[in-house]
Structure 1
Amino acid sequence: MHENYDVIVVGGGPAGSTTAGLLAKRGRRVLLLEKEKFPRYHIGESLVPGLMPVLDELGATESIEASGAIRKYGISLIWGRDPQLWQVDFGEATEHSYAYEVKRAEFDNILLTHARRLGVTVIEEASVHEVIVDNGRCVGVRFSSGGSNAPVELRAPFIVDASGQAKLVARELDVVEWHEDLKNLATWTYFQGGVHPDGKYAGNIVLENRPPGWLWLIPFSDNTCSVGFVAPTTEYKATGLTPTDVLKLRIEDSIEIKARLQGAIEVAKPRTTKDWSYTNRQMSAPGCLMVGDAAAFIDPLFSTGCMLAMKGASAAARTIDVMLDQPDRESELRASYEEAYRNFLEVVISYVRFFYDPTRQISEYFDEAQNLIDPNEKLSAREDFILLISGLRGKSAIMDPLALADRV
């Protein structure tokens, strides 16, 4: 470890690994500090095509493919007024016709390892205690590692907060804004076996609305699947049941997911976490950009977590690379980064809120997608729906801060 880094990245999840790796590809000297030892467990196993261009940019697609991750060509749903299974194919609207269903421990470890190969210095089991601020600017970090409590202080021209829901910088600045209507609780477990379709749709995630919440089923290549239930925290309290019992009850009440779990064996202890959506009032500070869950967390309905993290990371890497060469543009570029990030988030969260109403016709969901991203109706409403949920279309230049900055 040396002290002349260009960038210090806090956090080794998809946002941190991607930001660090892309900066290293641009010739920057990058230190990444990760508090855990990889591989480590994480939820968020269904990916969408919107992150595929970033995987290609990293040069990591081949590694993901070689890992045996199952391809996801679309989504299958029981949602809306008519309780019948319907599905969409990503290839109907985009050249990125698939993404993957992944075990996040494996996926995240591949990305972190790839960052190392690109030249990033990675220190695991490194706990960052604080970001150092000097005259209002983030200039370094204090951390401990290697089983020692002795703090280490390192400085760099730029800091990236990819600390996930720890939200290291946002909590210090007190800029986290919760979306009160999306304070949900997720409970999930894993099954082996069951009755699953063959062919192209075998890797589809299944979403089934069970008001006031919804169920997911994510298949994996090893004949296991993840099954979970998301609902407002008030729903869990109202039942008087434990979260595990609520999950079992909702599975039993389901249509498609119950059918697919016939003969399956539960092979893991259920887990529970708060899925409280939030967006920071600011996503940067002098000398620092926030990315991934450190900037915002949006309801997991459309599996947007990794996509938002990696798109944001790509935008952050491009922005920081220019700022390091042109420090006089930092204020302008930080503002453009936040605008691009926020514009994309606003589309996603607006649509999640609309889609949560299960009483609509399927055509209404398509029409609202078109209203949000294609009001001039250049494509069909169904195509706009596919583009929106795949993360390949937004209200702005698709998280491109430099394009926004160059407008003025």
Structure 2
Amino acid sequence: MKEIKSDVVIIGAGPAGAVAGALLAKNGWSVSIVEREMFPRFSIGESLLAQCMESLENADMLEAVKSAGFQFKNGAAFEWDGARTSFDFREKFTPGHGTTFQVQRAKFDKILADEAERQGVKIYYRHSIVSADIAENGAELIAEHNGEELAFQSRFVLDASGFGRVLPRLLDLDRPSEFPVRESVFTHVEDNITDSNFDRDKILITVNPNERDIWYWLIPFADGRASVGVVGEKEKIAAWGQDPEQILKGAISAAPELAKTLYNAKFDTEIQRIRGYSSNVTKLAGPGFALLGNAGEFLDPVFSSGVTIAMKSAELAAECLHRQLSGESVDWDKEFSVPLKQGVEVFKTYVKAWYDGRFQDVIFYQTEQKEIKGMICSILAGYAWDKKNPFVAAAERRLNTLVEICSAG
């Protein structure tokens, strides 16, 4: 069996894997990425948050992304039964990038992977991990490629396999998510949007007029196309039918304002569906390994936090691992898991409040206080680790107070 040795093996060449690989290579470590598919390949999670730009900048990938011609994004717009509001990320409370991009992930992920390779990372495409033997003093992953097996040996393993969740599956780390089973049905369209109320510089989140826990995304791209999808609990999604096309078109017709915006849209791409995507694990790191992004915990697509969490986990892990490989003692729970979870828990607070209606009441509240809106805007822009923001430092308490104010108003 052929053996491939490196300091670090990363499972998955998506945003988390590419960023972590580039950061480690920049510090002089040899990195191999084992990727199941061949890039470019389709993926969702197309509306980036402004916080992502900091991660891309740190990994020396930002200029490549800026020059790719992606759709500019400066915020998020919300619509519910004729009520409209928007948040401009440039008016946020937290310092840092205030704009970002809406991206076709096939192209975006390929750019990041290519940049990682340019910086010295070796990527092995079309290799599927079939077994993992991981210990504190080293690891061996067996991968299958074209009917043959290869042994990837390293000092540490980072799992950035996304929804593939390789190590949680092989090491029995999975545990149920606290979120109910929801389903998403989505596609890409030639949008042909002429609606003057639609701002292509923002993602549009539409709430179903009759079921507030059902919502839609509309993400415009730079080439006149857009990503559109509906999210809801599987029983409610099933009310529109069993066929994905029937479901998506029926769901859109049940949201009149969105249907009007997409009146001229050409549905020319296969409609897809995923179910039960929320996930969790017993731990994010252990002797010889750490889980990045969706391989650890995935919350929900509503605030587009997935790629942001993935990149943040990559940065935290790369910093800890650089120190550990250099001979320092690293407490992975204290220095990786806890800091990562702090931001994840903030997002989780607002995701829960979105589905029970509390955060929607705040978003659609008509009397705005500029300072408070800026703090909420920071969270929507991805700055969920900024403890100077009161709505991050005490997320649940501050949000509940704000909900009471809005309710009284």
TM bucket (normalised to shorter chain) is 0.7 to 0.9
Is the CA contact 1:188–1:229 (under 8 Å) kept in the aligned structure 2?
yes
Partner residue in 2 for 1:153: 151
Q: Give the distance between the partners of 1:89 and 1:52, measured in 2 at CA.
A: 16
1:136-285 correspondence to structure 2 within 5 Å: 139-145=139-145, 147-149=146-148, 151-196=149-194, 201-210=199-208, 211=211, 212-285=213-286
Q: Give the distance between the partners of 2:181 and 2:359, measured in 1 at CA.
A: 22
Partner residue in 1 for 2:55: 54
Partner residue in 2 for 1:372: none
Partner residue in 2 for 1:371: none
Q: Give the distance between the partners of 2:198 and 2:251, measured in 1 at CA.
A: 27
Q: Give the distance between the partners of 1:144 and 1:397, measured in 2 at CA.
A: 47
RMSD between aligned alpha carbons?
2.6
Q: Give the distance between the partners of 1:281 and 1:384, measured in 2 at CA.
A: 32
Q: Give the distance between the partners of 1:274 and 1:397, measured in 2 at CA.
A: 36
C-alpha change, 1:364 and 1:164, in structure 2 (3 Å) is: closer
Q: Give the distance between the partners of 2:221 and 2:78, measured in 1 at CA.
A: 18
Is the CA contact 2:127–2:143 (under 8 Å) kept in the aligned structure 1?
yes
1:306-317 correspondence to structure 2 within 5 Å: 306-317=307-318
Q: Give the distance between the partners of 1:115 and 1:290, measured in 2 at CA.
A: 19
Partner residue in 1 for 2:382: 391
Partner residue in 2 for 1:38: 39
Is the CA contact 1:344–1:396 (under 8 Å) kept in the aligned structure 2?
no
Q: Give the distance between the partners of 1:396 and 1:157, measured in 2 at CA.
A: 34
Is the CA contact 1:88–1:386 (under 8 Å) kept in the aligned structure 2?
yes
Partner residue in 1 for 2:407: none
C-alpha change, 1:95 and 1:396, in structure 2 (3 Å) is: closer
Structure 1 position 92 matched with structure 2 position 91: yes
Is the CA contact 1:185–1:273 (under 8 Å) kept in the aligned structure 2?
yes
Is the CA contact 2:84–2:364 (under 8 Å) kept in the aligned structure 1?
no
Deviation of 1:108 after TM superposition, in Å, equals 0.3
Structure 1 position 304 matched with structure 2 position 305: yes
Q: Give the distance between the partners of 1:196 and 1:47, measured in 2 at CA.
A: 24
Secondary structure of 2:64 counterpart: helix
Structure 2 residues not aligned, in runs of 5+: 390-409
Q: Give the distance between the partners of 1:340 and 1:307, measured in 2 at CA.
A: 14
Is the CA contact 1:42–1:105 (under 8 Å) kept in the aligned structure 2?
yes
Is the CA contact 1:26–1:321 (under 8 Å) kept in the aligned structure 2?
yes
TM-score, normalized by length of structure 1?
0.86
C-alpha change, 1:138 and 1:255, in structure 2 (3 Å) is: farther
Partner residue in 2 for 1:333: 332
Q: Give the distance between the partners of 2:18 and 2:359, measured in 1 at CA.
A: 40
List per-residue Cα deviations over 1:271-291 (Å, max 9, x = no partner).
111253122120111011110
Deviation of 1:181 after TM superposition, in Å, equals 3.1
C-alpha change, 1:61 and 1:323, in structure 2 (3 Å) is: same
Partner residue in 2 for 1:369: none
Q: Give the distance between the partners of 1:364 and 1:105, measured in 2 at CA.
A: 32
What amino acid is the match of 2:86? Answer: Q
Deviation of 1:152 after TM superposition, in Å, equals 1.6
What amino acid is the match of 2:182? Answer: N
Deviation of 1:246 after TM superposition, in Å, equals 2.2
Partner residue in 1 for 2:343: 344
What amino acid is the match of 2:142? Answer: R
C-alpha change, 1:359 and 1:254, in structure 2 (3 Å) is: farther
Deviation of 1:295 after TM superposition, in Å, equals 0.9
Partner residue in 1 for 2:372: 381
List per-residue Cα deviations over 1:42-89 (Å, max 9, x = no partner).
11111110111011111111111211101110111014xx74111110
Structure 1 residues not aligned, in runs of 5+: 367-376, 399-408
Q: Give the distance between the partners of 2:3 and 2:364, measured in 1 at CA.
A: 53
C-alpha change, 1:51 and 1:360, in structure 2 (3 Å) is: closer
What amino acid is the match of 2:34? Answer: L
C-alpha change, 1:197 and 1:52, in structure 2 (3 Å) is: farther
Partner residue in 2 for 1:68: 69
C-alpha change, 1:301 and 1:364, in structure 2 (3 Å) is: closer
C-alpha change, 1:324 and 1:208, in structure 2 (3 Å) is: same
Partner residue in 2 for 1:356: 355
Q: Give the distance between the partners of 2:315 and 2:6, measured in 1 at CA.
A: 19
Is the CA contact 1:217–1:227 (under 8 Å) kept in the aligned structure 2?
yes
Is the CA contact 1:323–1:333 (under 8 Å) kept in the aligned structure 2?
no
